[in-house]
Structure 1
Amino acid sequence: MRHVNSWSAPQPEKPIRAVVRLPGSKSITNRALVLAALADGPSTLTGALRSRDTDLMIDALRALGVRITEAADITTLDVVPGPLHAATIDCGLAGTVMRFLPPVAGLASGEVHFDGDEQARSRPLGTILDGLRGLGADIEGDTLPFLVRGAGKLPGGEVTIDASGSSQFVSGLLLTAARFEQGVTVRHSGGSLPSMPHIEMTIDMLRMAGIEVDASEPNRWTVPPDPIRSVDWVIEPDLSNATPFLAAAAVTGGTVSVPLWPRSTTQPGDFIREILTRMGAHAEFDGDALTVTGPERLSGLDIDLRDVGELTPTVAALAALAESPSRLRGIAHLRGHETDRLAALTAEINALGGDATETDDGLAITPVPLRGGVWHSYADHRMATAGAILGLRVPGIEVENVETTAKTLPGFVGLWDDMIAGRTAGDVA
């Protein structure tokens, strides 16, 4: 029986053979938007992702006084910086908005109010807000909703934070640091730092914008005061959004190609190549595309996903369909994402008859035959796509609120249907 607000995850009749073209990276798009908004002149973004998270960033920057206009192709954006002023910002569920924009708001003249979806009000923000207070910002509140009283400038200096909950705390401070009067030095002290590739992405993009970042000492980053150079950014395809489609090849014994896959990138999603290879699939470059071919049998694996935690829902779905147990480690920080992803994955896999157990820092999954049922998304886009992967092999899976995939990938259902049908899927705005 179909449940209200659910999508019947389709099953292919034969191994999938498809080409899937994907839109731009959310992580790169939102970093480029912030840097363009603070630059010394106009910038153009080509191939920008248009999704709920990126549109929330665009709307927020517009509210602060940045002029952002679309070309005929809405993935091309012209960004003209302007004086930053008072605003009200809707963060939705976008971690990049709620963590990258408070430092920008500190440079505005006037009060900037932040709020977001109900689920976002439990997301940890004290680290970034306390860090900003240490750099001279006037902030009221520690979670959404909160208020930044902008004074038009911030002194900056040195601050020590515990960023073990999210690498976005470091990136949020670094992206704006060159506009602080003294620049900024960020020190991380505390638990293990997750998602280092995202920090490396931030540093790489700052350097492309003419900002020197001293990262010579572990867990310490220094950005001097300097103008941020305007850059015409060309956005790579979103490799994390590609992972469910490549996983589809792995679980059906089929072949899926994703064009324009970069040979060198700071995107954590590129690690899916190693994950799938270790599980028995074959991944190779074919011209400008990455092509994955699935194995006859999918093997479990023991893997540390600390730096690529966003891939966990995809890997957990693969592990539940493998033929041997898996241990996913280093991902305790996922308890503070859109939802508690470890608890959510455990609950949903077990509700289908699976065998998943939370550990101190991850998940242990023993494959057993699964049955159909409702797969809850928890308003989490990556939970929804994990349900779609399971539905390729398990009949009768209903993914609740699959529309939440619009957070980073509008048109997901159409892309998925095209992939299963063997049609070339993509060019989604």
Structure 2
Amino acid sequence: MTASLAITPPDHPLVGRVTPPGSKSITNRALLLAALAKGTSRLTGALKSKDTKLMAAALRQMGVTVEEPDDTSFTVTSAGFLAAPAAPLLLGNAGTAVRFLTAAVALVDGMVVVDGDEAMRKRPIGPLVTALNSLGIKASAPTGCPPVMVEGRGHFGSGRVEIDGGLSSQYVSALLMAAPFGEGPIDVALTGQDLDARGYVDLTVAAMTAFGAQVTQLDHTTWRVEPTRYAATDFVIEPDASAATYLWAAEALTGGSIDIGVPMDAFTQPDARAAAFIRMFPNMPAVIDGSQMQDAVPTLAVLAAFNATPVRFVGIANLRVKETDRIRAIATELNRVRPGLASEEGDELLVRSDPALANPSRKARSRIETYEDHRIAMSFALAGLRMGGIVILDPDCVGKTYPGYWDALRSLGVAIT
């Protein structure tokens, strides 16, 4: 374990080529869909990180063969169903794995416990449990957070299920991915108009379709899923857009040119929307709506610290229920960089911006707490590209989604000790 890393601001623009890891969001969707498909599926371009390894381990517990022929591939062989595990599924703080498997284990014949670490046990899952109960699936989470107990019955019922997706689009995706195992068509409907990141539901539907599902969007808030089950397939996973935002921001902060192998406009993941705002730096707009690119907000907020004018982030209430309360964490750590630099205003974040911070000789002496949150660590490392004294505590937490992050910065000429 590395206690801390100190970043020395480079005296040159960052220039070079860095290949981001595969998308965590797509990798964990593809792993689950391959596990539910009869036959052998080959997933290439995949992310190998703590979160995806936890998902793969849970699938192995349920009788699925998951092989790893190289650093960016999984080969998944399944009988087309999940077997009851002998022990609880322990998924750390992997939100996608916990939410997706909470619905998927309803397809098991027997009782399954889905659990996580202490941080995961503070993240809400009540709306998904309520939705499962409405389908006749016995599920309970006494605290409203994991652990969740699900009594699987080998299928997913039929009819209509309503879900409040306001806290997390992952609830909606979880229901959609299990729905092809219905006894008849299943309509998945939002109870309100709000969905924290609709683009991630689009990713889910696209992946489901690739594995043979039939999904029809009946209206803005309702999807119909036919009882087709899944077919094994070979599936290519695109690079992670959230990871790409750090490299785009590093390029913008240093006036560099970093080739990540994929044009900004070629990504299908919602966080790629951040590219438009990064292009505007140092003249980012006064207000940025982060509702549809939530994992990119920490990147944009640190970039905003060096912007010419203040930036207010709105539509980000759900950042409070991520790996940590990211609104509070970002504000607290920006204020370590310079007192008064940021403030929480309700569920909004105001970054007051100070271009004078961009001074390598300035010694901030800021030891950045990362709250076991990979995105806090990676985004605040960007501040160290423009000012001295930035030290990242618990840097190993980046292993959740981007184990090679520090090596990527070093490859561009950043001195990290």
**TM-score of the pair, normalised by structure 1:** 0.89
Say whether 1:56 aligns with 2:41.
no
Structure 1 match to 2:360: none
Q: What letter is aligned with 2:289?
A: D
**Structure 1 position 278, deviation (Å):** 2.5
2:331 pairs with 1:329: no
**Deviation at residue 9 of structure 1 after TM alignment:** 2.2
- 1:192-231 aligned at under 5 Å gives the runs 192-231=194-233
CA offset at residue 233 of structure 1? 0.5
Q: Give the structure 2 partner of residue 77 of structure 1.
A: 74
Q: Is the 1:18–1:420 Cα contact (8 Å) retained in structure 2?
A: no
1:374 pairs with 2:367:
yes
Question: Which residue number corresponds to residue 412 of structure 1?
Answer: 405
Aligned to 2:98: 98
1:313 to 298, 303, 306: 298
Question: How much has 1:419 moved relative to structure 2?
Answer: 1.8
Contact 2:46 2:74 in 1 (8 A): yes
What is the alpha-carbon distance in structure 2 between the residues aligned to residue 315 and residue 265 of structure 1? 18
| Aligned position for 1:44 | 42
Q: How do 1:26-425 residues align onto structure 2 when only pairs under 5 Å count?
A: 26-71=24-69, 73-82=70-79, 83-87=81-85, 88-141=88-141, 142-190=144-192, 192-261=194-263, 264-279=266-281, 297=282, 299=284, 301-353=286-338, 354-368=340-354, 371-421=364-414
Helix, strand or coil at the partner of 1:124: coil
Runs (5+) with no aligned partner, structure 1: 280-296, 423-429
In structure 2, C-alpha distance between the alignment counterparts of 1:127 and 1:47, rounded to whole Å: 32
Give the aligned residue type for 2:300: V
8 Å CA contact retained: 1:128, 1:169: yes
Distance change (3 Å), C-alpha of 1:361 and 1:220: farther
Contact 2:188–2:224 (CA under 8 A) maintained in structure 1: yes
In 2, are the aligned partners of 1:162 and 1:191 still within 8 Å (CA)? Answer: no
Aligned residue type for 1:138: K
In the alignment, the residues of structure 2 paired with residue 264 and residue 24 of structure 1 have an alpha-carbon distance, to the nearest angstrom, of: 14
* CA distance in 1: counterparts of 2:133 and 2:269, whole angstroms: 30
Structure 2: distance between partners of 1:312 and 1:8 = 23
CA pair 192-359 structure 1, distance change in 2 beyond 3 A:
farther
CA contact (8 A) 1:350 1:356 kept: yes
Shift of 1:162: 1.2
Change (3 A) 1:337 1:155: same
For 1:253-296, what per-residue CA distance to the aligned partner results, in whole angstroms no more than 9, with x for missing partners?
A: 222111134754421232132111222xxxxxxxxxxxxxxxxx
How many Å separate the matches in 2 of 1:157 and 1:106?
Answer: 16
Deviation string 1:364-421 (CA, Å, 9 cap, x unpaired) is 1111355331111111111111110111112111111111110001121111111235
Matched to 2:374, the amino acid is: H
Code of the residue aligned with 1:168 in structure 2: it is Q
User: 2 CA distance for matches of 1:325 and 1:24?
Assistant: 33
Residue by residue, what CA displacement relative to the aligned partner does 1:183-205 show, whole Å, maximum 9, x if unpaired? 42121123621211111111111
- The CA RMSD measured in Å over matched residues stands at 1.8
Instruction: Output the CA distance in 1 between the equivalents of 2:155 and 2:8.
Output: 53
Separation in structure 1 between the aligned mates of residue 102 and residue 169 of structure 2, nearest angstrom: 15
Counterpart AA for 1:61? L
The Cα of 1:62 is off from its aligned counterpart by 0.7
Conserved in 2, the CA contact under 8 Å of 1:36 and 1:80? Answer: yes
Tell me, in whole angstroms, the C-alpha distance in 2 between the residues paired with 1:380 and 1:308: 17
The CA distance in 1 between the partners of 2:14 and 2:101, in whole Å, is: 41
Take 2:239 and 2:23, find their aligned partners in 1: how far apart are those partners?
Answer: 5
- TM-score, scaled relative to structure 2: 0.92
Deviations 1:2-52 (A, max 9, x none): xx8111123111121121112211111111111111113221111211000
What SS does the aligned partner of 1:147 have? strand
- Whole-Å Cα distance in 1 between the matches of residues 103 and 273 of structure 2? 30
Check conservation: 1:236, 1:262, Cα contact below 8 A: no
Contact (CA 8 Å) 2:137, 2:152: kept in 1 or not?
yes
Q: Which residue of 2 aligns with 1:8?
A: 6
Aligned identity (percent) is 38
The 8 Å contact of residues 357 and 365 in structure 1, kept in 2 or not, is answered as: yes
**How many corresponding residue pairs?**
401
Greater alpha carbon shift after TM alignment, 359-368 vs 383-392: 359-368
CA contact (8 A) 2:193 2:221 kept: no
Q: Do 1:44 and 1:233's aligned partners in 2 also have CA atoms closer than 8 Å?
A: yes
Q: Secondary structure at the match of 1:81?
A: strand
**Which shifted more, 300-309 or 192-201?**
300-309
In 2, Cα distance between equivalents of 1:250 and 1:302: 19
Q: 1:237, 1:261 within 8 Å by CA — same for their partners in 2?
A: no
Range 225-234 or range 187-196, more displaced: 187-196
- Per the TM alignment, residue 210 of structure 1 is displaced from its structure 2 partner at its CA by 2.2
Contact 2:264 2:275 in 1 (8 A): no
Q: Is the 8 A contact 1:250 1:298 kept in 2?
A: no
